[in-house]
Structure 1
Amino acid sequence: MYKYVALFRGLNVGGHNKITMVDLKAMLEGADCQKVTTYIQSGNAVFQSDVSPNEIESHLENAFEDQFGYAVEIMVRGDKELQAVFDDYPFFNEERELRFMMTGFAKGGFAPDAETVLANVAEGDELVQIVGNQVHFYFANGSGRSKLGALNFAKKIGTPLTLRNRRTVGKLLELINAL
C-alpha cells in the first residue's frame, strides 16, 4: 500500500472547475483510494492506494474525467517525495513569510534551460531553484504581483506546475504521515 498526495491543478480557482471536496473525496474513493483526506478547497488530497507510482497519475486523471466530464492535471507525490520537497526547500528563513515560500510541483520533465528562463523572469528579491521534480520559489512581494507567478509554465519551462505555499505543503505532510 502506497501513501500519496494528489495536487489538482486549477480546481476552484477564479470560479472555474468548481468541485466540492466531498465530491473530490468520493471520486478518489471510487478510484480505489483509501483513507482519503482533503485539505482546503484548492484540490489537495492525501490517501493510500495499491496503484503503483508509475500508474497513479493517469489512473486518477482518467477517474476524474469519467466522474466530472473534463480533464485536469494531477500531480501526485509519495510520502517520502513530499518529505523531501519540504526538507529541500532552499529559501526557508524565519524572517520570511511562509505564504511567499512556494513550491511548484511539475507534471513532467523540465526544458533544459528551465532554471535560466525562470531566473531571467524573477525580479528584485525573488528567488527560484529547481530541485528534483519541483520548482521552489520565494516571492518577496507575493506571487500575485509577480511576473514569475503569472508565467505560462508549460510553455516557458516545458511542463505545467501547480503551486502550493510552504504552510500547505507542511500541513499535507502532517496529513500523509498520519495515514
Structure 2
Amino acid sequence: MARLREIASGLGAVDVSTYIASGNLLCTPPADPAEFDHALEQAISDEFGYFREVISRTPDEIDAALSAFAFGEARHGHLYFLTDTPDAEAAEAFCARDFGNGERLAVVGRDLHIDYRDGAGATKLTPKLIERALGVTGTARNLRTSAALVERAGA
C-alpha cells in the first residue's frame, strides 16, 4: 500500500492515504479524475505487471450508495462499485437469478447492491460471473468498509 500511495502522489494526487490492505486509496486527484484513474491503471500495470481497473467514487457517492442500500441493515451487505452503469435489461435479468445461497441483488445506478444473507464465503457469485452478466467490471466493499472510507475521507 505504501507503493500505491507513492504512485498516486507521483501522478499529482494530494491528501493521499490508504485504508486496509485491499486497494482502498483515498486522495484528491488532479484536475480530471478520469484521466487520473487511467494513469493510475497504467502505472500499476507498468510497476506490477498486471492490469487492475481503478474505480473511483467520491465520498458523497459512497455515502449516497450506503443511504440507498437496497437491503437496509444487511449483516453481510456489500456495495459492488461498477466501472459503468450496466444495461437495464441485463441488470434486471441478473438480479432475478438464483445463485443458490439466498443472495439478494439490486443494481442502483453504477453500483450493485448485494446481501449475502449467509455470508460471502459460500457464494457462487464471482467477479467474472458479474462481469459476463452485466458487461462491466467492478470491485466490492462491505458496508462497514464503505462507511469507514467515507468517515476517513471527511477527517
Structure-2-length-normalised TM-score: 0.88
> How far apart, CA to CA, are the structure 1 residues paired with 2:78 and 2:23?
16
Which amino acid is 2:90 matched to?
A: D
Identity of aligned residues (%): 29
Q: How does 1:1-179 map to 2 (within 5 A)?
A: 21-93=1-73, 96-97=74-75, 100-111=76-87, 112-123=89-100, 125-149=102-126, 152-178=129-155
Larger relative strand fraction:
1
Higher alpha-carbon deviation: 113-122 or 133-142: 113-122
Which amino acid is 2:129 matched to?
A: N
> How far apart, CA to CA, are the structure 2 residues paired with 1:110 and 1:67?
30
> How far apart, CA to CA, are the structure 1 residues paired with 2:129 and 2:104?
18
> How far apart, CA to CA, are the structure 2 residues paired with 1:156 and 1:68?
29
- The alpha carbon displacement at 1:62 in A equals 1.9
Higher alpha-carbon deviation: 72-81 or 50-59: 50-59
- The alpha carbon displacement at 1:73 in A equals 0.9
Q: Which structure's relative contact order is higher, taking Cα pairs within 8 Å and 6+ residues apart?
A: 1
Higher alpha-carbon deviation: 163-172 or 73-82: 73-82
Structure-1-length-normalised TM-score: 0.77
Secondary structure in structure 1 of the residue aligned to 2:26:
strand
Question: Aligned Cα RMSD in Å?
Answer: 1.9
> How far apart, CA to CA, are the structure 1 residues paired with 2:126 and 2:71?
16
Structure 2 contact 17–25 (Cα < 8 Å) conserved: yes
Structure 2 contact 101–116 (Cα < 8 Å) conserved: no
Q: Which runs of 5+ in 1 are unaligned?
A: 1-20
